[in-house]
Amino acid sequence: MENYDFLIVDGGTAGFAAALKADELGVKTLMVNRGPIGGTCVNVGCVPTKYLLTALELKRRALFSPYPGLGFSVEGFDFAKLVEGKDRLVKTLRKEKHEDILQSLEHVDYVKGLRQVRLGKHRGGERGQNRVQKGPHSDRLAGEGSPAEGAGGG
Q: What is the pLDDT of residue 147?
A: 34
- Residue 53 in any domain: the answer is yes
Closest by alpha carbon to 143, among 77, 151, 12, 40?
151
For the chain, the residue count is 154
118 vs 154: which has the higher pLDDT: 118
30 belongs to a structural domain = yes
Distances (CA, A) of 132 to 1, 4, 29, 75, 154: 9, 5, 9, 57, 17
Q: Is residue 144 situated within a structural domain?
A: no
Task: Establish if 149 belongs to a structural domain.
Answer: no
Residue span of the structural domain in which 40 resides: 2-134
- pLDDT at residue 33 above 70? yes
Q: Is residue 30 classed as helix, strand or coil in its secondary structure? A: strand
Estimate to the nearest angstrom the gap between the alpha carbon of 56 and the chain centroid.
27
- Burial class of 22 by CB neighbour count within 10 A (0 to 12, 13 to 18, 19+): buried
The tally of domains found in the chain comes to 1
Q: Is residue 77 part of a domain?
A: yes
Q: Is residue 122 part of a domain?
A: yes
CA pair distance 77, 54, nearest whole angstrom: 14
In-domain check, residue 71: yes
C-alpha separations of 44 from 56, 80, 95, 122, 130 in Å: 17, 17, 16, 38, 34
Q: What is the pLDDT of residues 36-95, one digit of tens each?
A: 999 999 999 999 999 999 999 999 988 998 888 888 888 889 999 999 999 999 999 999
Q: What is the mean pLDDT of the chain?
A: 81
Say which CATH number the domain at 46 has. Answer: 3.50.50.60
Residue 68 lies in a domain: yes
pLDDT given for residue 130 in this prediction: 56
